[in-house]
A and B are shown apart, each in its own frame.
Chain A
């Protein structure tokens, strides 16, 4: 961490993040996570209420 060039790069990165489009694997991960999470929550809520 004590490398001035590396720090400079990181500071620049934090201000201007390089554009990195979301790839299929990321979209799948986010979609499956949300879908599974919400489905399990609904099932758990249903089971607990009955």
Chain B
């Protein structure tokens, strides 16, 4: 169906459900605004930057992601159970959901459509090295790849490696460098200098 047809269909359904008392359009507005403007990768980036500058926070974050992220007060049901997995020079983590599209919404917002695509969901568990290379991340053959298939309670957030040469950057500046892709594990965080 075209975008126009879909727009007509959802508009009609919203009217019907409003008449039936199942939907309050203002509540829908509020939910959309929340996921468009208030939560998104900027939340996750703050968590990552804090973990880079504060070793005690990093320990708490890896021990209990849900609790450590709650220190920031990000709202929403996506915060129910978050597990943070740390990249090391030897191990690279990447996240997928082969059965649906589980995603840590409270820290990353709405999942991008490529993450929800059949191509990503089918390939990432079977040929992660080739797929990451295609997506622009060419890992050394000695780096072990650990793919996390989100199937249970936990939603996964990757703690990327802090780029070299960023010792002088503030926590806020570091957060600016952290991308959604890096926190899913399909990219590294890069710093090209001041």
Q: Do A and B truly interact? A: no
